[in-house]
C-alpha cells in the first residue's frame, strides 16, 4: 500500500496534505447510477456496481490521490451491495488511495458512535479514511465520531453549505445572539476543533461547501485569513454541475489550499474504456496538481 492510504501514525490531515501536494486536488466520485451502469454495459445490480467501482479505482490509481464512493448507490442493493462496496474499498486501500465514504450519517450518543465505528475503525470491512456526516442535531452530537476519528487517524467532513436549493433556507438561517448563519457556525465549530486537535498545517476535520454557491450568502467570508491549521473543504459541484476547477482560488479564497475538487459524472460518463483518459484530461485541464 502506498503512502497515501497508509494511516500509520499520521493524522488524516497530514496524509491529506501529502496527497494534495503530490497528486493534486482532484477527487473522483464512485457513483454507480442506474443510467451509468447501463451506459457501461453493466447490469443494474450489486455485481454491476462492484465492477463499476473497481474499474473506477483502477483508472484513478496512479493519477489522483482521492476517491469518494457514494454509498447510497451500493446500499440500494442491500447486503449484496455492501459486500460489493467492501471489495471496492479494499481495492482502493490496496491502491494507496485516500477514501472518503460519502455516507452523510448523523445521530447522537451511542448511535453516532456506531456509525463512526462502521466507517472509521481500522480493520472494519467498511473502513475508509474519512466519512461525511450531517450535523442537523448539532456538531456536538457528532462528538463520538470526531473522537474516534482523532484517535484512529481518520477524517470527518461535516455538511455546512450544500448545493441543493432546499438546503439554503436552513443553512442560511441565523442562530444565536450574534445572528451567525448556520453554515458559518458549523465552519467555525469545526475550525475550533482543528485548532484544538491538530498541530500541522491542515486539519483532519473538514466541511462540505458546494462550489456553485455564493458562500457570502451563507456568512462565509473566504477572503478572511484562515486559522493556523486550515480546515479542509470537500467541494462538490465541479464538472457536470457547472463549477470549474480552474476557479478554485476565486471560489474558496484562503481555503483553496485545502480544497478537495470532487468530480463524478464529468469523468464517469466517459465510459469504462475512456475513464482513465478522462481523468487525465481533467487533471491537465484544471491544473488539479497544484503542488
The residues annotated as belonging to the active site are 104
Within 10 angstroms of residue 70's Cβ, the number of other Cβ atoms is 18
Residue 66: is it exposed, middle or buried by C-beta count within 10 angstroms (0-12/13-18/19+)? buried
Burial 79-90, CB ≥16 within 10 A → b, else e: eebeebbbebbe
Task: Read off the C-alpha cell for 7.
Answer: 494511516
3-state DSSP call for residue 73? helix
Burial 165-191, CB ≥16 within 10 A → b, else e: eebbeebbeeeeeeebbbbbbbbbbbb
End-to-end alpha carbon distance in the chain? 22
Q: To 10 degrees, what angle do helices 109-120 and 143-152 make?
A: 30
> Closest by alpha carbon to 2, among 15, 12, 11, 17?
15
44: CB partners within 8 A, 6+ apart: 34, 37, 38
- Cα four-point dihedral sign 192, 201, 263, 272: negative
Within 10 angstroms of residue 242's Cβ, the number of other Cβ atoms is 10
CA 124 to each of CA 65, 103, 117, 142: distance values in angstroms, whole numbers, following the listed order: 21, 15, 8, 20
Amino acid at each position: 500500500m502506498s503512502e497515501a492510504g497508509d494511516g500509520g501514525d499520521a493524522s488524516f490531515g497530514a496524509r491529506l496534505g501529502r496527497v494534495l501536494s503530490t497528486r493534486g486536488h482532484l477527487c473522483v466520485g464512485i457513483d454507480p447510477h442506474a443510467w451509468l451502469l447501463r451506459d457501461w454495459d453493466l447490469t443494474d445490480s450489486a455485481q454491476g456496481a462492484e465492477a463499476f467501482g473497481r474499474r473506477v479505482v483502477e483508472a484513478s490509481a496512479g493519477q489522483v490521490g482521492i476517491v469518494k464512493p457514494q454509498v447510497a448507490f451500493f446500499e440500494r442493493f442491500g447486503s449484496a451491495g455492501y459486500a460489493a462496496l467492501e471489495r471496492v474499498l479494499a481495492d482502493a486501500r490496496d491502491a494507496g488511495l485516500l477514501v472518503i465514504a460519502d455516507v452523510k450519517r448523523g445521530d447522537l450518543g451511542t448511535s453516532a458512535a456506531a456509525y463512526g465505528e462502521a466507517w472509521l475503525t481500522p480493520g472494519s470491512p467498511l473502513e475508509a479514511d474519512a466519512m461525511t456526516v450531517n450535523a442537523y442535531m448539532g456538531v456536538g452530537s457528532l462528538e463520538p465520531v470526531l473522537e474516534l476519528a482523532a484517535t484512529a487517524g481518520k477524517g470527518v467532513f461535516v455538511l455546512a453549505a450544500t448545493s441543493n436549493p432546499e438546503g439554503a433556507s436552513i443553512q442560511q438561517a441565523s442562530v444565536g445572539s450574534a445572528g451567525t448563519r448556520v453554515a458559518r457556525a458549523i465552519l467555525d465549530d469545526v475550525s475550533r476543533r482543528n485548532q484544538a486537535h491538530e498541530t500541522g498545517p491542515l486539519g483532519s476535520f473538514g466541511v462540505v461547501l458546494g462550489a456553485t454557491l455564493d458562500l457570502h450568502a451563507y456568512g462565509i467570508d473566504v477572503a478572511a485569513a484562515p486559522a493556523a491549521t486550515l480546515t479542509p473543504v470537500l467541494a462538490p459541484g465541479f464538472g457536470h454541475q457547472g463549477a470549474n476547477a480552474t476557479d478554485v482560488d476565486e471560489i474558496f479564497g484562503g481555503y483553496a489550499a485545502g480544497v478537495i475538487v470532487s468530480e463524478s459524472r464529468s469523468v464517469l460518463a466517459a465510459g469504462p474504456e475512456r475513464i482513465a483518459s478522462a481523468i487525465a484530461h481533467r487533471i491537465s485541464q484544471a491544473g488539479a496538481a497544484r503542488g
